[in-house]
Amino acid sequence: MNPMIEPQKTSSVGFLLLDNFSLTCFTQCLDVLVTANLIQPGSIRTHTFSRNDSEVISDLAIPIRPDTPLTDIRIAALDLMIVCGGLRTPRVLPNGLITLLTKLANMPIALGGLWNGAWYLGKAGLLDGYRCAIHAEQRMALSECSPKTTVTLDTVVFDRDRFTASNPAGAFQIMIKWLHAALDPNVADAVFDLLDHESRFRTSAKVLDRKVSASLREVIALMECNLEEPLGLDLLAQCVQLSKRQIQRLFRKQINMSPQRYYLELRLTEARRLLQNSRLSVTEVAIACGFVSTPHFSKCYSTLFGCPPSKESRYEI
């Protein structure tokens, strides 16, 4: 072996599985990391943990047995530890978990959270001064328990050594972004190209990819914050100090879609989330997402999702 060539570094990623964690978020992350190992063998080592080293039941009632004990030696070898929460994960932070998270924060280890994983980091005081993402249903809870945290509307937030995602699409992105920063941009791009084409989670969040310009990100952020009362293209242009034609060119060139179409799909995607996760009526959802006509809302919804909003699955609240 040439002594001038350093051996390839293996990065270690740990997943702390909490009760009723989102299995889909977890597997989205694993899919990215396993694929990275196929492209560059031996580059990633994954570990699963639970608080008491016992089996954990996911939100889909599928048990996962952790493969690594929570010992100081094991966690000291990690580069990233991700707290995996879920819709029904109880918001309880026992002393043992506070101690563990604080110990991790004092090590050179990046911390992440999936679904409501940010709540546990915030409750332990580990998101003070950070921006973060958390599932929409729990933004208020995090804001109340961690007032020094900037709780965003974003699907995924990558802020220094804190990586948080609010849903499976964000979980996919957070692993791609982490690969890009911690491993190899070429490997990250190759994984994205392999997996994203067939991903069920191709959403508007894709435009947060690094190739999207800052100006377009600003326009999209305004759209995301104004779903109930959509902003016209004139006002959007005025807010970001661009012309309407410039905004249209940005959307066409960078995401191959008109701004009007993108805004519509953004509102309809939010409508679907509300239908699935709230008791709001179809009319109430339509209004909440900026539609003044319920028939028009139903027509647009059916065109995008293949079924009318009245037939959408309603989860038990």
Residues 243 and 176 placed together within one structural domain of the fold: no
Query: pLDDT tens for residues 194-224?
Result: 776 443 334 444 444 446 788 898 899 889 8
- Count the domains in the chain: 2
Confidence of residue 32 (pLDDT cuts 50, 70, 90): very high
Residues 182 and 252 placed together within one structural domain of the fold: no
Residue 204 lies in a domain: no
Residue 220 lies in a domain: yes
Confidence of residue 315 (pLDDT cuts 50, 70, 90): low
Residue 81 lies in a domain: yes
State residue 17's pLDDT score.
94
Residues 187 and 287 placed together within one structural domain of the fold: no
Residues 184 and 231 placed together within one structural domain of the fold: no
Residues 230 and 185 placed together within one structural domain of the fold: no
Residue 207 lies in a domain: no
State residue 1's pLDDT score.
38
Query: pLDDT tens for residues 164-186?
Result: 999 888 899 899 989 888 888 88
Residues 292 and 180 placed together within one structural domain of the fold: no
Q: 64 - beta bridge partners? A: 56
Q: What angle do CA 86, 92, 93 make, to 5 degrees?
A: 110
Residues 145 and 223 placed together within one structural domain of the fold: no
Residues 159 and 222 placed together within one structural domain of the fold: no
State residue 8's pLDDT score.
57
Range of the domain at 16: 11-196
The CATH number of whichever domain residue 260 belongs to comes to: 1.10.10.60
State residue 198's pLDDT score.
40
Residues 159 and 234 placed together within one structural domain of the fold: no
Domain-terminating residue out of 139, 172, 196: 196
Residue that is written with structure tokens 């080293």 in the block: 53
State residue 211's pLDDT score.
67
Look at residue 137 and tell me whether its pLDDT is greater than 60: yes
Residue 3 lies in a domain: no
* Selected residue with higher pLDDT from 186 and 13: 13
